[in-house]
A and B are shown apart, each in its own frame.
Chain A
Amino acid sequence: MQLKRPPSPLHLGLMAASCALLSGTARAQSADDAEQPLQIDADLLYYKENAGRVQTIEPVVSLKKDFGDQRLLDGTLTLDSLSGATPNGAIPARTPQTFASPSSTSLIPEPGHKTTLYTIAPGDLPQDPHFKEQRVAGDLDWSQPIGLDNTLSYGGHASTEHDFESVGAHAGLSHDFNEKNTTLSAGVNEEYDRIHAHGGNPVPGSDYMLYEKESSQTKTVTGGLIGVTQVMRRNWLMELNYAYDHSQGYLTDPYRIISVADATGAVTGYRYESRPENRTRQSLYWVNKLALGPTTLDLSYRRGKDSWSIGSDTVDAKLRIDLGSGMYVEPHARWYHQSAADFYNLYLSETAPAPNFMSADPRLAAFAATTLGIKFGVTTGRNGELSLRLEQYEQRPTDQSSALPQLQGLDLNPNLKATIVQLSWHTEY
């Protein structure tokens, strides 16, 4: 058989490698100084809620550089762009309802003040149509081994929006033992936030019609985490984490109001919501990673509990199926349930005295949610990967109606549906 073709790229690569091997140890020595590749991850996330509500476009770029010996620098830059209608917390009513967008400095149009009003038709969920937000966030992490069995990591993050700034720092230490089959890890984090809402921060719990605003407010979050990762069997990895954090300061949502209704259910007014100035959260997170041949299964359960009486359960399962030729498909299912915060209400009763704390934020309500999704991935080039994730999220509140005559037949806290599309690209240089 005669030589028919020039050497292929693979053959050229092999020729070069073979020459390097046989020419002595030149390459091995130069590898000492060789730089590790730069890993680049680029993501584009699109999130859209049903019924013309919020949509987000979020590009994320992440760079990871290995400086050798597992010393890693990891940086992430995120840009967020939110727009669409956002529920303001008020319930639908039998009569038209008029609200001011938060950037208004007065409820009543008058000289020297800016007033943007919007009116909601009877029976519709009150939503602010002018909602728009942009966020820039950056995160930088460093990790390095200490001795053979320990890894130290620390880093910081910062983000800014028109009405919110956040800076934080964290540090963690992990220790491997039992022939690296067991890893213990612990970490602490601290965050400082400043909230200066459009048009000022409302006085929590105050009457909406009085339009009382304050200057900027702050909050701090202090947290810690301990965890253990254990290789159970050759194809089974288990991880258990306990996390605790404490938030203190202005925890109220400055844009959220709550309706006040009379004994018939007719809406007679609104109050700005008001949340306690302290919140303690604890969670227990249990993850199992199983390799079933080329197929892998990720199964996790999370139990959360906070000092506002919100208890939550999350069950999450991901099955990654190798399709060969560098392709995989990953179905994903998630189920979530939470109980309501003790100060959550769909609306306040006019006849009862106003409580200290109140909120109609659907995120503090009792609800169940499911996420169903699928991800397709394909390897590109040497170490690259391109993937597409499609997910459908549905949130179903437990309390959605009232028996009061004026409110009968109205959906006071409608189901939420959202679609998530994420395009991810990984490459190395």
Chain B
Amino acid sequence: MRVVCAAPGGASPPPHAPEFEVAPREGGIVAVCFVAMASPCELLLETADAHAAGEAGRIAAQEAWRIEAKFSRYRPESIVSVINRSRGHAVVVDGETAALIDYAAQCHELSEGLFDITSGVLRRCWTFDGSDRLPEAAAVAALLPLIGFEKVRWQAPRITLPAEMEIDFGGIGKEYAVDRVLGLVAARFAGAALVNFGGDLAANCAPSAAPWQVGVKRPDTEREARLLLELSRGGLATSGDTYRFLLREGVRYGHILDPRSGWPVRDTPRSVTVAAASCVEAGMLATFAMLQGSGAESFLEEQGVRYWCLR
């Protein structure tokens, strides 16, 4: 069974309709496809029972949409939007949100500040559209006082975000949804399952015939998958800058921004794919590696994980 991942960071599909499709594939696998978090999503199940697959698909899609609605910074009613509108007032959050903020806090600490959920304000001056339009250094510098997770007052269940600062769960949310969906499906469904949300994926076990074959597309072309990986269980995630970069005087500015300087990390790989125990763990390792720039490979070597870097 071959799964082809969408090119990481690819063009966004149209806004999803809350529906999903069930389609049989070769080798006794049933695929459930839907769109969530601006990504094509699929759940692959080893089963002959189309009804059970449909039921699992419904659970998967509803969970993905629930997480998207709850944590998307684009949804005005999401908890993230509520926190971002709080203007310095404390917001009491539920346990799930608290767990995500805790996770973000730990990642901030582990990466010594390189991973920072408050760095999204840099989008106000950085638009990675392939052009040569770099922002003014002063405009970037002016945003720096609004960045820094250490400025956030966080003690579960209460978060206080200084006025004008913002948080988002980019780099966590989709990976979290993949692991959550796999957990829900595996709890109700006996066979092998693989969840793939736009290239970030996780599997509970290998199908009876052979491990899952995962193809990672070459990020800068629409050609055949460049990498073909085998995955039995665990998570696999890719971070890349395929279409999201600026090019000026021969220097490529990728979309991975250093929250300390507000400027893109130099010499990042085009893409980093990491295999780990879960999708969140794989995704965070890939993100950490990108933030290391030219040191991405040596960083991943040190972590003792399976990885594939493309430069």
Contact = CB atoms under 8 A, between A and B. Distances in A.
Interface stretch (A26-34, A108-116, A122-130, A405-413): A26-34
A21 B99 contact: yes
Contacts of A21: 99-100, 102-103, 176, 280
A46 B302 CA distance: 43
8 contacts: A8-B302, A11-B285, A68-B155, A69-B158, A70-B153, A179-B87, A234-B164, A294-B260
Question: Which residue among B260, B262, B305 has the maximum number of chain A CB atoms within 10 Å of its CB?
Answer: B305
A17 B107 contact: yes
B98 interface: yes
B88 A180 contact: yes
Contacts of B180: 22
Given A180-B162, A293-B141, A3 B306 contact: yes
Contact of A1 (B144, B261, B308): B308
B15 interface: no
Given A8-B304, A11-B305, A148-B89, A27 B144 contact: no
Contact of A13 (B106, B142, B157): B106
Interface in B33-58: none
B301 interface: yes
B99 A24 contact: yes
B304 A3 contact: yes
A292 interface: yes
Interface residues of B, number: 57
Contact of A20 (B103, B261, B308): B103
A29 B157 CA distance: 8
Given A293-B144, A294-B260, 4 more contacts: A1-B308, A21-B102, A27-B102, A31-B102
Given A21-B280, A179-B163, A69 B95 contact: no
B306 to A, nearest CB: 6
Nearest to B106: A17
A351 interface: no
Q: Which of A18, A27, A29 has the most CB of B within 10 A?
A: A18
Given A4-B301, A31-B155, A234 B95 contact: no
A15 B282 CA distance: 10
A181 interface: yes
Interface string B127-167: 00000000001000111111000000101111000111000
B110 A10 contact: yes
Contacts of A180: 87-88, 162-163
Interface of B: 87-90, 95-103, 106-107, 109-112, 137, 141-146, 153, 155-158, 162-164, 176, 179-180, 183, 260-262, 276-278, 280-281, 284-285, 288, 301-308
Contact of B183 (A22, A31, A179, A235): A22
Contacts of B288: 10, 14
Contacts of A28: 95-99, 101-102, 156-157
Given A3-B305, A32-B157, A294-B260, A234 B145 contact: yes
A19 B98 CA distance: 15
Contacts of A6: 304
B142 A25 contact: no
B164 to A, nearest CB: 7
Interface residues of A, number: 46
Interface in A216-262: 233-235
B154 to A, nearest CB: 9
A234 B143 contact: yes
B303 A11 contact: yes
Interface string A366-386: 000000000000000010000
A291 to B, nearest CB: 5
B284 A18 contact: yes
B1 to A, nearest CB: 23
Given A1-B306, A8-B303, A18 B146 contact: no
B281 A36 contact: no
Contacts of B306: 1-3
Nearest to B182: A22
Which of A2, A6, A17, A326: most chain B Cβ within 10 A? A17
A171 to B, nearest CB: 24
B89 to A, nearest CB: 6
A2 to B, nearest CB: 8
A14 B278 contact: no
A10 B162 CA distance: 29
A291 B144 contact: yes
A234 B164 CA distance: 9
Interface string A297-323: 000000000000000000000000010
A402 B101 CA distance: 71
B305 A10 contact: no
A22 B103 CA distance: 10
Contacts of B95: 24-25, 28-29
Nearest to A30: B156
B280 A5 contact: no
A20 B99 contact: yes
A78 to B, nearest CB: 28
A191 interface: no
A170 B304 CA distance: 56
A175 to B, nearest CB: 13
A233 B145 CA distance: 10
Nearest to A180: B88
Nearest to A16: B106
A31 B101 CA distance: 11
